[in-house]
């Protein structure tokens, strides 16, 4: 029995085996998801990096 899962884009049932677009059900869903990343619709949580020591007081010297 092939492994099935829901497409993360449209929730249609799709198979993992022999699916060139996995985890998506189709090229359309894959490209829609890629476009969402390119448009920055998805964001990963991050923390701001601390300022470098030399950047804090450039005019000090």
What are the pLDDT digits (tens) for 10-49? 999 999 999 999 999 999 999 999 999 999 898 888 887 6
- CA–CA distance, 33 with 14 (Å, rounded to integer): 16
Please check the confidence at residue 9 and state whether its pLDDT lies above 60.
yes
Q: Where are the domains of the chain?
A: 4-38
Task: Decide: residue 37, CB within 10 A, 0-12 exposed, 13-18 middle, 19+ buried.
Answer: exposed
């Amino acid at each position: 029995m092939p492994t099935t899962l829901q497409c993360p884009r449209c929730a249609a049932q799709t198979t993992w085996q022999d699916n060139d677009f996995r985890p998506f059900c189709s090229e359309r869903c894959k490209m829609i998801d890629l476009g969402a990343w390119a448009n920055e619709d998805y964001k990963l949580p991050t923390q701001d990096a601390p300022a470098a020591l030399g950047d804090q007081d450039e005019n000090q010297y």
